[in-house]
Amino acid sequence: CGQCITHCPTGALRARDDTERVFDALEDQEKICLVQIAPAVRTSWGESLGLTHEQATVERLASALRAMGFDYVFDTNFSADLTIMEEGSELLERIKKASEPGGEDIKFPMFTSCCPGWIRYVKSHYPELLDQVSTSKSPQQMFGAVAKTYYAHALGVDPSKIFSVSIMPCVAKKAEAALPTMVGETGDPDVDVVLTVREVDRMIRASHIDASALPEQELDQPLGVGTGAAVIFGATGGVMDAALRSAYFLATGENPDPDAFSGVRGLDGWKEKTFDLAGTPLRVAVAHGLGNARKLIEALRAGEVSYDFVEIMACPGGCVGGGGQPIHDGCELAGERGDVLWGLDAQAPIRFSHENPSVKLVYDDFFGNPLSERAEELLHTDHTAWSMPK
Ligand code: SF4
């Protein structure tokens, strides 16, 4: 009947091919083409090109994208760190307000908002929970908003000249980028085209690029800088782990051990932990896969559990298991790809979002502080301002 195709929250059943639009933009001399690479893409882009994990680095993908004609190659890790600053501040603000007179109306848990598959699911099945979902945009959309405001200004160009592409492990991100709320002042989308990993691999092959023969190249600055806390966004528990690291810092002024919140990692479908945050117990939960999300919400509604902060990712394993990733019949690689991300975090020179020098720069130069008026305008959204397709 087509209902499942219309309503699939992750969008995996109705993938659209956008490669021609990107090829056209790359040929257009008037356009400045920039691209962001999502955290989970670095675990998988080489799989269908015959590259080993060691060969398929994000730096070699940057090289392939420049060979295709992109002017700037950036990292969604930058805006994942920005998301943590906004979402972590939002959580602390919510906790503070709840403890003040009149704060009893503030409801918990607060839910993460970076997964558009989850947003579509909660809107269609539990709309009464929408005001508990963080208003922070996803890293993809924060990046798009920064690219067409701060970065356009830094380049001295009109934002309409920028063609902003994202490479995602996700099909639902295509629908997210097309939402009426994800546009700039002139009504242009903040992200012009979302490519899945399968699409970018097709583009590399169609461009006759032998990625294995390319050198590794650094990403562009300043929006190509991300931390270990950002790269784990692609694995279940990663957003929670990263958010807790910075929330701890924002609450205490000191960094925790970066592995202090490792209890939220791993592939259990529904994990829960309580951590001490500056003397306040913080009850958190993490669920991946919408079946687990439903069980968790039903338990919340029945009063069987209660939490302060909940991370939900629609795909099993998180974005490493996303609907835009390469498909290997009969083989599930989400766990293996997630291990790659946790390994990158462990080796990262910076493991806290609040220490990302580019994030600090963008706050100093442009946003001021998390939750500032400009940050609210560009980095936050209203989940009630659009309707699910009938
Ligand atoms: Fe997209 Fe990741 Fe959510 Fe899956 S878990 S729908 S890949 S954002």
> Residues 213-238: pLDDT tens digits?
999 999 999 999 999 999 999 999 99
What is the reported pLDDT for 1? 39
Interval between CA 111 and ligand 1 midpoint (Å): 15
At the topology level, CATH places domain 82-136+228-355 in Fe-only Hydrogenase (Larger Subunit); Chain L, domain 3 (3.40.950)
Domain with CATH 3.40.50.1780 in the chain: 3-79+138-223
| CA angle, residues 97, 101, 104, in degrees to nearest 5 | 70
Interval between CA 117 and ligand 1 midpoint (Å): 6
* DSSP structure class, residue 365: I
At the topology level, CATH places domain 3-79+138-223 in Rossmann fold (3.40.50)
Q: Is the CB of 314 under 6 A from ligand 1?
A: yes
pLDDT band at 186 (very low <50, low <70, confident <90, very high): confident
Q: What is the pLDDT of residues 94-126, one digit of tens each?
A: 999 999 999 999 999 999 999 999 999 999 999
* 0.90 surpassed by complex ipTM: yes
Rounded (10°) angle between helices 197-206 and 58-68:
50
Residue 334: which of 247, 255, 237 has the closest Cα?
Answer: 237
Q: What is the pLDDT of residues 301-320, one digit of tens each?
A: 999 999 999 999 999 999 99
Interval between CA 37 and ligand 1 midpoint (Å): 14
Percent of the chain with pLDDT over 90: 92
Domain with CATH 3.40.950.10 in the chain: 82-136+228-355
What is the Cα–Cα distance from 73 to 37, expressed in whole angstroms? 8
What is the reported pLDDT for 9? 66
Residue 332, pLDDT > 50, answer: yes
Q: Indicate the average pLDDT of the chain.
A: 95
Q: In which order are the strands placed within the sheet that holds 72-75?
A: 72-75, 32-37, 162-168, 193-196
What is the Cα–Cα distance from 87 to 237, expressed in whole angstroms? 15
Confirm if 168 and 195 have CB atoms less than 8 A apart: yes
Taking the model in full, what pTM does it have?
0.95
Residue 192: which of 141, 264, 231, 235 has the closest Cα?
Answer: 141
pLDDT band at 278 (very low <50, low <70, confident <90, very high): confident
Residue 309: which of 389, 235, 220, 246 has the closest Cα?
Answer: 246
CA distances from 203 to 9, 23, 217, 302, 342 (A): 26, 8, 19, 49, 28
Helix H or strand E encompassing 298: helix 290-301
Question: Atom 8 of ligand 1 has which residue's CA nearest to it?
Answer: 115
Which ligand 1 atom is the nearest neighbour of the CA of 318? 5
Q: In which order are the strands placed within the sheet that holds 270-277?
A: 110-111, 309-313, 280-288, 270-277
CA distances from 281 to 87, 94, 247, 270 (A): 18, 15, 13, 19
Residue 194: which of 66, 85, 43, 322 has the closest Cα?
Answer: 322
Which residues on neighbouring strands pair with residue 283, listed in sequence order? 274
